[in-house]
Amino acid sequence: MQAKLPIVSYDSPHGPRNIVSNEKDGFIVALNDKSAFAEKLNLLINDATLIEKFVENQKSKLELFSKKRVMNQWNDLVLALLQKKTTF
């Protein structure tokens, strides 16, 4: 998304559905379904308008997953864990 590219992802158990909204800002296909993955990739290769739509729809998520925000969340988590450890 940061690279302003649409996403095609397998529906793996941990992650993609938390980031990609299927058919809004990318595609999520069944895990290991190579045919569906290729189909969605081919669709994007041949449809510049769809790419533009997906990239436009991604803009609202860019801040949510920005490096600064994610690093602050990790920092907060580590500090919280350290505080719990010292209370035992």
Whether 88 has a pLDDT exceeding 60, the answer reads no
Q: Is residue 57 within 8 Å of 26, Cβ to Cβ?
A: no
Summarised one tens digit per residue, pLDDT across range 18-69 is 899 999 999 999 999 999 999 999 999 999 999 999 999 999 888 888 889 9
Separation of alpha carbons 57 and 54, rounded Å: 5
Domain at 7-86, CATH from 3.30.870.10, 1.10.510.10, 3.40.50.720, 3.40.50.2000: 3.40.50.2000
Domain edges within the chain:
7-86
